[in-house]
Amino acid sequence: MQITAVYRKLYRQHGPQHWWPGETPFEVMVGAVLTQNTAWSNVEKAIANLRAARLLDAAAIIRTRPARLAKLLTPSGYFNVKARRLRSLCAWYVEQGGFDALSQRDTSRLRSELLALHGIGPETADDILLYAFERPVFVIDAYTRRLFKRLGLIAGDETYEALRAGVERRLARGDDRIALFNEFHALIVAHAKNICRPRPRCEVCCLARTCPATVV
């Protein structure tokens, strides 16, 4: 099956996903750090805590005592770890001049700088690049690996970089790549959470007719 056909079928089944939930690019960045190893509903509670404390601001987060920040992040789990990661991201963000200054950088430099920060791996960096900085970078996560492996599009044990580059190559080039990558990743997450689960619900899957892993 062509990867673009997967996109079209997922879009028909699930409709537009309107990602990423977040009122500002900075809030998207915060969400990308907090969503590591936890459900989005928990991230929403932690972000609500930050908003209520008027801390959805990089400079304000840096000024906040680590223990207080960690307490506000409690709903997102691993709150001490995430507080350190968030402070590191915010320190870089402020030092580099904030969103407008960072937006001037090319994607590969921005990506390298994000990957050099404490606790930012490729998936989080690419979430930030795609959804906060609107760069044409395809996000690979465990859902993408599971779905694409079942569909026979990948072997499943490729490195992150090999998968990302391979998927980007197979998707059409053009002005709408950012919108396509944005929607496709969100659709993969929706499909993997609701249908192509660890125990797949192939009987209601739009890809079942051509999926080699169909179980009916």
Closest CA to 60 of 30, 90, 33, 88: 90
Write out the H or E segment, with its range, that includes residue 92.
helix 79-95
Examine residue 3 and tell whether it contacts ligand SF4 (CB under 6 A).
no
| Choice between 14 and 150, CB closer to ligand SF4 | 150
Q: How many residues belong to the site for ligand SF4 (CB under 6 A)?
A: 14
Least CB distance to ligand SF4 at residue 123 (A):
21
Report residue 181 CA to chain centroid gap: 11
**Residues in CB range of 60: below 8 A, 6 or more apart:** 54
**Residues in CB range of 56: below 8 A, 6 or more apart:** 24, 26, 27, 30, 47, 50
| Choice between 174 and 198, CB closer to ligand SF4 | 198
Least CB distance to ligand SF4 at residue 163 (A):
17
| Choice between 83 and 207, CB closer to ligand SF4 | 207
Label residue 165 exposed, middle or buried (CB < 10 Å: 0-12, 13-18, 19+): middle
| Choice between 51 and 170, CB closer to ligand SF4 | 170
Task: Look up tokens 């991201």; give the residue.
Answer: 89
Least CB distance to ligand SF4 at residue 145 (A):
12
Phi, psi for 164 (deg, rounded to 5):
-60, -50
Q: Pick out residues in 185-214 that bind ligand SF4 (CB under 6 A).
A: 195-196, 200-202, 205, 207-208, 211, 213-214
Q: Are 86 and 35 in contact (CB under 8 A)?
A: no
| Choice between 11 and 78, CB closer to ligand SF4 | 11
- Candidates 145, 150, 164, 185; binder of ligand SF4 (CB under 6 A) is 150
Instruction: Please give the residue ranges that form the binding site for ligand SF4 (CB under 6 A).
Output: 147, 150-151, 195-196, 200-202, 205, 207-208, 211, 213-214
